[in-house]
Structure 1
Amino acid sequence: MTPLERTLARALTEIIIKLDHSDLDAITPEAAMEVLEPVIALLQDLPDQDRQALADLINQFAWQETDLDRHLTAWEAPETLGLLAGGSLC
């Protein structure tokens, strides 16, 4: 992957972590999904190979996390984004 692709994948991972760990008063789970739904829809248009590459990259970022909560959220991100076989959560 190019540096741009890695940076965008890392940014997406950070957004998911921030949404998941935000205070419920700041953003509800429903509002978080409203933010993610258009992203999930765009990712569904990618070829399977690209979706798998993105999932693998996000999993690499998850393993780099030293905070357990951030690690778990990042580890679950490919499923949240519908990158894995079985589709999205939309």
Structure 2
Amino acid sequence: MTCTTEEVTHRNGALGIHKLVIDVPDLEAWMSKYTPFIGEAMSVKTEETCTITIGKNHIILLRQANQYGISEIHLLTSHQMENPIQLAPNHALGSAIFMTSI
């Protein structure tokens, strides 16, 4: 059974996650933890980050930091907007949540 548009679209127009920014204390160790899950995904590593692109441009950005945490969540929305908007941070347990038009 195929889901309807109403079943896969949130009231705010969110369609899904486009990008996660995850702060990690040991970039090399976390990269090796993600390897079994990403398979043939494309990854680009710099000194401070590793950007992993999966499937239809879904992105996981691992970023060197002092402690572990999900710092940003980027959602795709069906609503048209000129610039990404940031949702209220007090609702996100310390993470920044952005909505971007598809």
Alignment TM class, shorter chain as reference: 0.3 to 0.5
Is the strand fraction higher in 1 or 2?
Answer: 2
Is the helix fraction higher in 1 or 2?
Answer: 1
Q: TM-score, normalised by structure 1?
A: 0.33
Q: TM-score, normalised by structure 2?
A: 0.30
Larger Rg: 2
